[in-house]
């Protein structure tokens, strides 16, 4: 498992981030919305600790692909 984040256009005016816990095939197992980079980091750290995940990718685009 790993954690992958990417940008997400919540509304026309609001850009946020999705934080996904994904399996080895890249399928999301758990997803959370973060309103800013600090929340993105905090949620990523919580998920990593909870699921004992060592790999976290913060994508700069809108795609879940690493």
**In a domain? residue 65:** no
Q: Residue 59 gets which letter from DSSP?
A: -
Q: Phi/psi class of residue 40: alpha, beta or left (left: φ > 0; alpha: ψ in -120 to 50)?
A: alpha
What is the total count of domains within the chain?
Answer: 1
**In a domain? residue 64:** no
**In a domain? residue 66:** no
Residues 6 or more apart whose Cβ sits within 8 Å of residue 28: 20, 21, 22, 64
**In a domain? residue 63:** no
Model confidence, pTM? 0.86
| 21-43 per-position pLDDT tens digit | 999 998 999 999 999 999 999 99
d(CA 48, CA 30): 12
Band (pLDDT 50/70/90 cuts) for residue 62 is confident
Element of type H or E holding 62: none
Domain that residue 52 falls in: 2-58
């Amino acid at each position: 498992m790993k954690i992958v984040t990417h940008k997400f256009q919540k509304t026309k005016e609001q850009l946020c981030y999705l934080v996904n816990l994904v399996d080895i095939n890249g399928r999301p197992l758990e997803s959370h919305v973060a309103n800013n980079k600090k929340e993105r980091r905090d949620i990523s750290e919580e998920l990593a600790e909870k699921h004992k995940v060592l790999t976290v990718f913060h994508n700069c685009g809108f795609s879940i692909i690493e």
